[in-house]
A and B are shown apart, each in its own frame.
Chain A
Amino acid sequence: MHFSGFKIIKEALTGHKGWKPTWRTPDPKTEYDIVIVGGGGHGLATAHYLAKVHGITNVAVLEKGWLGSGNIGRNTTIVRSNYLLPGNEPFYEWSMKLWEGLEQDLNYNAMMSQRGILNLCHSDAQRDAFARRGNAMIMAGADAVLLDETGVRDMCPYLDFDNARFPIRGGLLQPRAGTARHDAVAWGYARGADSRGVDIIQICEVTGFQIEKGVCKGVETSRGRIGAKKVAVCVAGSSSRVMEQAGMRLPIESHVLQAFVSEGLKPVLPGVITFGAGHFYISQSDKGGLVFGGDIDGYNTYAQRGNLPVVEDVCEGGMAIMPMIGRARMLRMWGGVMDMSMDGSPFIDKTPIEGLYFNGGWCYGGFKATPASGWCYAHLLATDQPHPVATEYRLDRFRRGRMIDERGAGAQPNLH
């Protein structure tokens, strides 16, 4: 079923009786070439690119709950590639390029909107750091514009420029960044994978791995044993729990990140705006709600909910740069479980167990990475070689002293 304007008109005229389910609900086979554990954004993107780019379609995606019920449905929908370090920026820029062609590739409306991201700076030193970051972005093929205070005032006149503690001195703008409809990304990838023959199996929890003499031969699930030549884990916040079943300890802690939505308002924000002196980011959804968030709560947790001190902290951050939002009422808040790695950067790698692969450690930046994560994971699974833009995302990088510490905070997951 191909989606198009013509199809919508035709269905409108014929009583909407021709729409079909977007993906099948197959029973698991006993054996696959590749079993992907985790039916979130990254797992579904991996399945899509395995089928489309590498022609590998004897693939199953196993999901414990329902499709896209994890962090792909619990994020703040921001898409950007404004990283600094050479191990990161080419990867995220590749992701950005995939986002730009995503809807045509999937024939699915992901509501990708390149409305820009503006990182505010509040001191000369911070502006210098942003100039450096912008140059690093441009060298990796991304776009970056360094704005002075007048430039920011032209874009967002309502910010608190003369705040006594954190005056706004300028900002780093990435015009190609923006937001995307998070659920539609999962649905689009699921449809893309399913239409090429990938089995998406929901309500199927992996309870163990079949490992014989250091080789992974398949998985035990709540729906029986499923054999596989390769098993690819990408389960975000549950990474440690799942990999423990394979006897592995990871450089990861699970933390909760909260996000918030206000009541619907008329359009007030042009794009995504971030606070440079605290941790606060905000955008406005197409429905009008202000979507915002800040720091993780800071303690290990698997509960998809946080505590009130962080709510207060996030709202204070918002009020510091944008006092006008003080009149808006908060409508909803939620939490997602983040797999915080020791340096704030992810992993896409083989494991010491042959046939078992791991993708995780996305911290709270997994959504923007969805397309490139799937692309590079599919590349690794199909060729057994890391993709050129993901060569640094190795599981053993701490042992080798090759961490990618974007924030310079050291091995302290709750600071990244």
Chain B
Amino acid sequence: MIIHHPLLGPRDAAEFYVLGDAALIDRPDGQAEDAAERFYGYLYLRDNPAGEHRELWYHEQGDRSWLVVTRDTLTHEIKKVELARDVALQKGRGQ
């Protein structure tokens, strides 16, 4: 697979480490009433879809940026690549 890095252009997927579902960006609030239940879902449960999947890839052998890659799990076709930083900021995280 070739991942079109937003900054570096086309890169071999072998340069990356895959973490998994991009929902891992949405870390629950540890102070919430139901924090234990939310962290259980966050840590252990996955949608695991057959089809479009947004996932976190880490450019370990490159610029060490985290990417959000939108990829089809049936065909391995990559439809969109974003910097995870941008995605997280759009969600209002890191403020």
Binding site for B on A (CB under 8 A): 240-241, 249-254, 298-303, 307, 309, 342, 398-399, 411-414
Is there an interface contact between B20 and A413, defined as CB atoms closer than 8 Å? yes
The 6 residue pairs across chains A and B that have the minimum distance between CB atoms = A240-B48, A309-B14, A398-B44, A251-B44, A302-B50, A249-B45
| A251 nearest CB neighbor, chain B only | B44
Distance in angstroms between the alpha carbons of A411 and B19 in the assembled complex: 11
B40 close to A398 (CB less than 8 A): yes
- Interface: B71 (CB within 8 A): yes
Kindly state whether residue B43 has any CB partner on chain A within 8 Å.
yes
Please indicate the chain A residues that have their CB under 8 angstroms from the CB of B74 in the complex: 301-303
Q: How many angstroms from the CA of A302 to the CA of B76 in the assembled complex?
A: 9
Q: How far is the CA of A10 from the CA of B53 in the complex (A)?
A: 57
In the complex, residue of chain A having the shortest beta-carbon distance to the beta carbon of B14: A309
Contact residue among A302, A309, A399 (Cβ-Cβ distance under 8 Å from B73) = A302
Contact of A309 among B12, B20, B43 (CB under 8 A): B12
Q: Which of B33-92 contact A (CB under 8 A)?
A: 40-41, 43-50, 53, 55, 71, 73-76
A249–B13 Cα distance when bound, in Å, is 28
- Taking CB atoms, residues of chain B closer than 8 Å to A412 are 19-20
Q: Does B18 touch A at the CB level, under 8 Å?
A: yes
Q: Please, which residue of chain A has its CB at the minimum distance from the CB of B50?
A: A302
Find out whether the CB atom of A252 lies under 8 angstroms from the CB atom of B75.
no
Distance A299 CA – B73 CA, assembled complex (angstroms): 9
A398 to chain B, nearest CB (A): 4
B1 interface residue (CB < 8 Å to A): yes
Residues of B within 8 A of A301 (CB): 73-74, 76
- Chain A residue with the shortest CB-CB distance to B48: A240
Give 14 CB contacts A-B under 8 Å: A240-B46, A240-B50, A249-B45, A250-B48, A252-B46, A252-B48, A253-B46, A253-B48, A299-B13, A299-B71, A300-B53, A302-B74, A303-B73, A342-B43
Tell me the minimal C-beta distance from A340 to chain B in angstroms: 9
Number of B interface residues in the complex (CB < 8 A): 26
Contact B13 A254 (CB under 8 A): no
Known: A253-B48, A398-B40, A399-B40. A303 touches B20 (CB 8 A): no
Chain A's closest residue to B43 (CB) is: A411
Q: Which partner residue on chain B sits nearest A399 by CB separation?
A: B40
Contacting pair A250 B46 (CB below 8 A): yes
A97 to chain B, nearest CB (A): 32
CA distance A412 to B56 in the complex (A): 13
In angstroms, how far is the closest chain A Cβ from the Cβ of B63? 19
Task: Please indicate the chain B residues that have their CB under 8 angstroms from the CB of A241 in the complex.
Answer: 48, 50
Chain B hits for A240, CB < 8 A: 46-50
Query: What distance in Å separates the Cβ of A331 from its nearest Cβ neighbour in chain B?
Result: 24
